[in-house]
Chains A and B, each alone.
Chain A
Amino acid sequence: MAEYIVSGNVIIDEIHQYTGESYVRLGGGAIYALSGYRVWTDSCAFVGYAGCDFFDNYGEWLRNSGINECCVTPAYDYDFRSILTYDENGFYTSSNGESFRTGLNKEHLGRCTPTMECCTPYAEAHKGKIKGWEIHSHVDTVFYQQFKKLARECGFKTGCELVNFGRKSYMEPTETIKEVIRNLDFFSMNLTECKDLIDGVKDLYDAEEFFKEFTNCSIFLRNGTDGAEMISGGRVYRAGLADDFGQKDSTGCGNSSTAAAFWAVCEGLDPLTAACIGSATAALNVAHEGLITDFSSETVAKCAEIAKRLRHESLSAEEM
């Protein structure tokens, strides 16, 4: 059993470079989030829907990462594959169209979406032992209402990262976000998504003001290369960004930093520290092509140092 759980999308990227080179990159928001947890704890697991080939695809990464438990409900023959075609400038077009063998396309991606039927058995089996459970990219408020009840019964905190869900909800996006947050202990979005989805949010200040109202919930607001902040109890705690490991690929940084910050909140760390832990995790993620693979004690210690430094820098900036 694991103390930290994530549920959500599992997607494998098929990368096609302009040079003609092709390769597969493991991903999916929930798996990136799992990697973010893993930096700080080995008691973490994925619980959710995936293809029958999930362990064929992810088994090696899970074993090498020391993640010993994943509770997968096989929901389709093969994991989803997203086809990313890169040009010479590093930009890519994403085709979630029907992959070469899965038979599943973007329309089916919702089958990855966590359900109560999927989460409840694990939660009830480990009642009182789970500390935090993050849901990735689910916009149905009826789910969060039921999930909150389950969390209260089983004694864990609830988190959620929403990505740009466009018009995937019947409600206005602003109302959807409000209703989702009302049912959570922790929530995260990035600023670009906030500006796209929340009425009246044009800049960071607007987003902070919007989120300050939700005193029930810690909000991890990510702002790309400008760092991130935790909004908690009506206050804003800013964390910068670090570049200690070098930069390769920003894919998944939002997912991994969110999970790490959620872990910190569940562990009872103060909001600023939690934000800095998120940023430090993003620093490690961006140094990897795809998922984080280095969870050595030296690397984790370095992440902790980075978080400590970011915290100090933030406090110093505040004093000035």
Chain B
Amino acid sequence: MEKTLPKIEIIEKYCKGCHICVEFCPKDVLEMKGFYASVKNLEACIKCMQCELRCPDFAIKVITE
């Protein structure tokens, strides 16, 4: 079965660049691009939702089917 990829939405207006999502992602999907978090490797995402759960700033949404 083909793997369905989620859509990771990062709201830059809310992101304060604290690195929490980047550090606690178990699959190294996110990276810091300048001040904000951004998606580096969406293919590796296992939809564990850790980034959405831990983001203190309501800045990440992992949209799955």
**Do A and B interact with each other, yes or no?**
no
